[in-house]
Amino acid sequence: MNRAVSFLCDYANAALSFLYPETCQICGNERASPRQGYVCSACRQNVRFIRPPYCQRCGLPFEGDITTPFECANCHDLELHFRSARSAVAARGTVLEAIHRYKYHRALWFEPFLSELLISEAVPALAGERWDWIVPIPLHPTKERQREFNQARRLAARLSAASGIAVHDRLVERIKPTETQTQLSRQARADNMRGAFAVRDPRSVKDRRVVLVDDVFTTGATTSGCARALRAAGAAEVCVWTVARGL
């Protein structure tokens, strides 16, 4: 980080400290700074990082002493278009609260906390292979105007800066205004995402290896729909990284 960027970060943190007391925005009891994303060390203790054993395809963690690579039953029943999906932590407790407020209430002060979780797990894993681009899952323009930002784009930018992999945030567009996924069944989610994405310039993606980034992975319908468009355009490989994994 150069001096100018460092100065701006320090200035922004000072401004946040002036506007908001350095108190954890999850529990409201302990001290937490802007650099910590206003999440205190006590609340961070509730974060569950995802560790093996987990499904090699979708990253769903399992209990027990499974020592060989495996795919879960859900992945056997679905047509998934990404090679693998990994998440840093489980979507529960502190993390789920922070994501919900960040995503739906523009609580942007949680971004350093959420991006820190993603970066800590994704960067070492991605360093072992060559990847051409990091691509955030796009929102439909109508939804992005309503929300005023795309959380996946912001998280992807931070992962790009930490990993050195270029971010291409306009490669894929969302061309179908899909229903909210939260109340849909697994099959309905997949149907909802069919034809939802398009690659702007198919020639530019041919033989490229792409990392898709989003905040939460649940059934994989959204990321698989996006991966499908990329593979159809000629992408050589697509993997997925998210902050959190729904269990």
Q: Which of 36, 37, 34 is nearest to 18 (CA)?
A: 34
Gap between the Cα atoms of 155 and 100, Å rounded: 15
- DSSP state at residue 34: G
Q: Which of 183, 194, 169 is nearest to 218 (CA)?
A: 183
Is the same domain home to 160 and 131?
yes
Is the same domain home to 35 and 127?
no
- DSSP state at residue 55: -
Look at residue 201 in the predicted model and tell me its pLDDT: 92
210-237 mean pLDDT: 96
Is the same domain home to 7 and 107?
no
Assess whether pLDDT exceeds 80 at residue 179.
Answer: no
Least confident of 55-64, 129-138, 223-232: 55-64
**CA end-to-end distance (rounded Å), the chain:** 36
- Confirm if 87 and 244 have CB atoms less than 8 A apart: yes
Threshold 0.75, pTM exceeds? yes
Please tell me the total count of domains within the chain: 2
* 154: CB partners within 8 A, 6+ apart: 111, 115
Look at residue 1 in the predicted model and tell me its pLDDT: 43
- Confirm if 163 and 128 have CB atoms less than 8 A apart: no
Residue keyed to tokens 């790009």: 160
**pLDDT, the chain, mean:** 89
Look at residue 182 in the predicted model and tell me its pLDDT: 65
Assess whether pLDDT exceeds 60 at residue 45.
Answer: yes
Q: In Å, how far are 134, 173, 225, 229, 233 from 201, measured between CA atoms? A: 16, 10, 17, 11, 8
Is the same domain home to 62 and 8?
no
Dihedral angle over CA of 169, 175, 177, 181, nearest 10:
-60
Is the same domain home to 31 and 110?
no
* 5: CB partners within 8 A, 6+ apart: none
Look at residue 59 in the predicted model and tell me its pLDDT: 95
Is the same domain home to 20 and 107?
no
Look at residue 154 in the predicted model and tell me its pLDDT: 97
CATH no. for residue 150?
3.40.50.2020
The beta strand positions in 107-177, using DSSP E, are 133-136, 172-174
Edge-to-edge strand order for the sheet containing 237-245? Answer: 84-90, 237-245, 209-217, 133-136
Q: What are 69-118's pLDDT values in tens digits?
A: 889 988 887 889 999 999 999 999 999 999 999 999 999 999 999 999 99
Is the same domain home to 103 and 170?
yes
Q: What are 129-160's pLDDT values in tens digits?
A: 999 999 999 999 999 999 999 999 999 999 99
Is the same domain home to 76 and 20?
no
Look at residue 100 in the predicted model and tell me its pLDDT: 96
Least confident of 55-59, 108-112, 184-188, 195-199: 184-188
Dihedral angle over CA of 62, 104, 166, 243, nearest 10:
-20
Domain residues for 130? 49-245
Is the same domain home to 94 and 124?
yes
What type of residue sits at position 40?
C
Task: Tell me the β-bridge partners of 242.
Answer: 87, 214
